[in-house]
Each structure stands twice: as C-alpha cells, then as structure tokens.
Amino acid sequence: MPATIKKILIANRGEIAVRVIRACRERGIATVAVYSEADRSALHVRLADEAYPIGPSPARESYLDGTKVLAVARRAGADAIHPGYGFLSERSDFARAVTDAGLTFIGPPADAMDAMGNKTRAREHMVRAGVPVVPGDNGEGGRGFPTAQAALDAARRIGFPVMLKAAAGGGGKGMRLCDDEKKFEAAFHGAQREAKSAFGDDTVYLEKAVVRPRHVEVQVFADTQGSVVHLFERDCSVQRRHQKVIEEAPSPVVTPELRARMGEVACTAARAVRYVGAGTCEFLVSQEGEFYFLEMNTRLQVEHAVTEMITGLDLVRWQIAVAEGQPLPLQQEQIQARGAAIECRIYAEDPVRFLPSPGRITSLRTPAGPFVRDDSGVYAGSEISIYYDPMISKLIVWADTRAEAIDRMGRALAEYRVGGIKTNLAFHRRVMKNREFQSGDYDTSFIERHKAELCVAGGDDAGVLDDALAAAAIHAVSELPPPVVATEEGGISAWRQRGWRG
C-alpha cells in the first residue's frame, strides 16, 4: 500500500496544473511543476514549490515526453505524479513507467486504461458487462475496417445516419457524421487522417447516429478496496465540433429514476475493468429517454468543477487519498447533491469561426461574488501560445436552482473582461440569454442550430479595458513571484527565494 504522498509532480500545464497545486497546498504536499520554453513565465510555474524546464514549446517535445517527465520527478525527489487531463493522462505506457520507477501514479491502473482507452475494446468490455451501447460495428476482429468499402457495407447494415469514430480517440477528433452513402468514402478517409494525426492510430469504427441526443456523463470514483460510487451526472450537450463548451449539473432532462439507472450502469462499467480513482462514463441520451454508453475517460475531466459545486467535494483531494491507498471518504448513500452549477469554458478564440486567437493578455478582470469560481491558468501579461489549447479559464457558478444559476452566470460573464485578444465571452453571454438553453430542452446540435444568433462578430472584450486599468493589471504581474530557476543542482523555489506566501 502506498505511503503518504509528500511531493507531487504535476505533468501538465495551465488551469489544471494550478488546480492541482492548490489542492496539494491545502494538504501540505509539496509540488513540482514542469514547463516548456513557451511556459517559462506561466502561472503554474510561479505557484509551484519547484519547477523544471522540460523542453521546447511543441508538446510532443515537452509535455508529451514521458521520459523527460520521469527524469524530472527523480531529480526533484517527487514520490507521485498527477497527470491532469490531456497530454499523458490516458497513456497506459506512461502510467506503467511511473509505477515501474517506484512512484505513485495518481490515476487508474494501466490495465484499466488499456481496457477503456481504446474505444472498440471498451465497447466490447461493456457489452460483456451488460452495459447498453449504441448499435455499431468495430470492424474485423474489433480492429477497424481494412477498406472504405468494408466500412460502407457495415454502415448499410447498421443503417444511416452513422457516426465514424477514432478507436484511440477523444475530444471530438477523428469523428465524422455521415447521413448519405455518397459522402461516406470521403468521411471515412477524413476520419482516418484526423485519427492518425491526433493519436498515431487511424483505426475507426462505426456507431448508429442517435438523432438529436443529449450528451450526459456520470462521474465515478473507485478505491483500491473495491468500493465504487458515482457522483451524479453532468450535461455536456452544448458542443461545437464535438467538443464541449458549456457543462452543467445536474442535467435538466435526467429524472431521479434515470439518474439512479445511469449511476448504477456507470459503476458497473468501472467494476468491469477493476477501475481505481476518478473516471467518467459518457452516454448519449435519446429523446425517448434511453441511454447508451459512449466511452469512459480514464482521468479527471475538465468539467469536474460542476460536480464539486453541487456535491461540496474536492475531487483532486479524493484522487490523492485513493492513490495513497485510503478508502473512499464517503459511501454512495452519504453523497448528496444540492442546487445547480454551470461551467463556461472561456477561450481565446474568434467567436465566429472558433479559431484560436493567440497573443498577450494585456488586461484581465475576473468576476467574483457569491458562488462564483474562476479556474484559470493565466494573468494579465500572460501569452496565449499557438502550441496549446487556448483556454483562458473555466468560469463556474452555483445557485439553488438552474434558473438562478443562469442568471448568476450571466452576471459573472458581464463582469469578465479580457484585453489584447479575442475571446468567446460574448458567445457565452448570448447562450445564457437563449430561450432554448434557458428551457433546458436542447441537444448536441444546439450551437449549429443557433449559429446565426450565437456566433456573430461584435460584443467581444478584446481591448475594452481602459489604459489605467490595463496598466494596473500589468503592474500587478510584478507582484507575482518570479519563475523558478532550475539549475543542475535542482529547482530553486520562488516561494523560498522571496518568502512568497500567496
């Protein structure tokens, strides 16, 4: 059984690295950050107890290089690694390398990641476990299709419309919706190319497309003693290009009876692969109220904060406790949900075309007030790099009712100001005012259906702060501790160097 963790290396960047650092500080656990050349002055570098350079700006030469991460962990004397999400978080080979090195991996066992990481294998596991899955075809021997014609034959058997999906995928990459045989070959090859580029594996499989579904996921947690619980559901149906933009908990369409069924199925899925730690089972919910397993994300989710807001629980602390071999802090009947929470992903992007808008944040004013939370990895003066996801922050609110949560989010978004770059703040404000969204009766095609109303130029905040406020914001950067300097002898902590106690 692992001993008490004393020092954690966070193998990530941005807001999730900051989130983990804060949870560790509350537990009295020392933190180690890693950073690429582009992130030398990043917030997670400034906040960690120690930080070490890990390579050039491209992720494949830095954050995705597990060998470098492990070398830093040994050098810094870390006894555990938290992968965050993205990057190395779902790489079973990295999880094995961490444990083989005698360190604790704060995530599920590598075997569970293998079972659920490949989407076709995950479907097969779930079918054997009796979990409802979307009708589909994994190809010959579950290994995909050798030709577009073989895939088309399978699509005809399933019936159009169909969804092409990358077997090794996630995040909406390698996915194509096809409702016409004439478009199928192009869609097949397009999905293969994108899957190969994103995951190094061009295997794709087919699923029957569920018309106008909800995307609802269930947070699960498991410990090393065999206990598995769920922490209710999140609705992630506001998406663009199959990527989530707004999440909320609970789902406005999930009844208590459906919630209980989905929660039990999610726990069954976790038990089927002997899962440990935080995971998420994603489902499609049809207009008739039927639900189908899509995939399991073997990591903490970006949107875990809305679950924290309705349950009052710290999921990162739970992750650390489970990694230490402790039992789950609560049993299922002790976990309660209250009120409603909404999360908006604030991106540096063109709000019309959803294209990244890299550049320097010249000024920043984040919202505050009762039950408003801003999980951010930037400050005024930060650079939004071309090399990584352009997320500025996750803005989360809680209220007693969903209607009040929407009002609170609208107020918080009205206070949010970002200067120097384009953002999607205006898009989020428009969603909060949209009657379909307010009704709760929306689906995954919501953005596409309201694109003319939601994705229009104007109303953004780039450069709107006055010169005095911008100057004050930039000046505030000088009050942050300087980046940690790593030498051959080890990382020099800015906290110790200047007595910083943020």
Which among 416, 356, 417, 344 has a CA at the least distance from the CA of 383?
356
Asked whether the predicted pLDDT for residue 370 surpasses 80, the reply is yes
Give pLDDT tens digits for 261-273.
999 999 999 999 9
The share of the chain scoring above pLDDT 70, in percent, equals 90
Q: What is the pLDDT of residue 354?
A: 85
Catalytic residue list? 299
Instruction: Give pLDDT tens digits for 186-216.
Output: 999 999 999 998 888 999 999 988 889 999 9
Return the domain boundaries, the chain: 7-106, 135-208, 214-454
Token reading at 140: 């010959």
CATH code linked to domain 214-454: 3.30.470.20
Query: Would you state the pLDDT for residue 57?
Result: 97
Does pLDDT of 464 surpass 70?
Answer: no
- Would you state the pLDDT for residue 210? 86
Please name the residue that has the structure tokens 């000046």.
475
Least confident of 13-27, 159-173, 292-306, 430-444: 159-173
Check residue 493 and give its pLDDT.
43
Q: Is 99 exposed, middle or buried (0-12, 13-18, 19+ CB in 10 A)?
A: middle
Least confident piece of the model among 84-98, 115-129, 341-355, 361-375? 115-129
Q: Which residues make beta-bridge pairs with 133?
A: 293
For residue 453, pLDDT over 60 is answered with yes
SS3 label, residue 234: strand
Give the distance, in angstroms, between the CA of residue 244 and the centroid of all CA atoms in the same chain: 9
Q: What pLDDT shows up at residue 328?
A: 98
DSSP reduced 3-state for 391: strand
Flag whether pLDDT at 172 surpasses 80: no
Q: What is the DSSP letter of 459?
A: -
pLDDT of residue 459: 61
Rounded distance between C-alpha atoms, residue 203 and residue 195, angstroms: 7
pLDDT score at 492: 42
Supply the DSSP symbol for 141: G
Domain 7-106 has CATH 3.40.50.300: no
How far apart CA 193 and CA 230 sit, in angstroms, is 36
Amino acid, res. 298: T
Is the pLDDT at 480 greater than 90, yes or no? no
The least confident of 59-73, 123-137, 453-467 is 453-467
Residue 169: which pLDDT band, with cuts at 50, 70 and 90? confident
Averaged over 437-459, what is the pLDDT? 92
Strand, helix or coil for residue 343: strand
The C-alpha atoms of residue 444 and residue 212 are separated, in whole angstroms, by: 6
Per-residue pLDDT tens for 283-292? 999 988 999 9
SS3 of residue 233 by DSSP? strand
- 214-222 and 228-240 beta bridge pairing: antiparallel
Q: How does pLDDT run across 320-336, given as a tens digit for each residue? A: 999 999 999 999 999 99
pLDDT surpassing 60 at residue 225:
yes
**Contact present, 437 and 431 (Cβ < 8 Å):** yes
CATH class, 135-208 region: alpha beta
Mean of pLDDT values over 38-57: 98
Question: How crowded is residue 416: how many other Cβ atoms within 10 Å of its Cβ?
Answer: 21
pLDDT band at 123 (very low <50, low <70, confident <90, very high): confident
Q: Please state at what angle helix 402-415 crosses helix 425-433, rounded to 10 degrees.
A: 150
Beta bridge partners of 492: 485
Cβ–Cβ under 8 Å, residues 272 and 126: yes
Paired residues of 2 in beta bridges: none
3-state secondary structure of 150: helix
Give the pLDDT confidence score for residue 333 in this predicted structure: 97
Give the bridge partners for 383, in sequence order.
360
Residue 102, classified by CB atoms within 10 Å of its CB into exposed (0-12), middle (13-18) or buried (19+), is exposed
Distance between CA atoms of 453 and 447, rounded to whole angstroms? 9
Query: Which residues are 418's β-sheet partners?
Result: 364
Radius of gyration of the chain (CA): 22
Residue type, 232: F
Q: How far is CA 201 from the centre of its chain?
A: 21
Residues 249 and 264: their CA atoms lie apart, in Å, by 18
DSSP state of 376: E
* pLDDT value of residue 460: 52
- pLDDT (mean) for 8-17: 98
The reported pLDDT for the residue numbered 501 is 30
Q: Which amino acid is at 273?
A: V
Distances (CA, A) of 251 to 2, 155, 312, 341: 37, 31, 17, 10
pLDDT exceeds cutoff 70 at 278: yes
Contact 403, 438 (CB under 8 A): yes
SS (H, E, C) 289-340: CCEEEEEEECCCCCCHHHHHHHHCCCHHHHHHHHHCCCCCCCCHHHCCCCCE
**Mean per-residue pLDDT of the chain:** 90
Minimum mean pLDDT among 236-245, 256-265, 304-313, 409-418: which range?
Answer: 236-245
pLDDT category at 117 given cuts 50, 70, 90 is confident
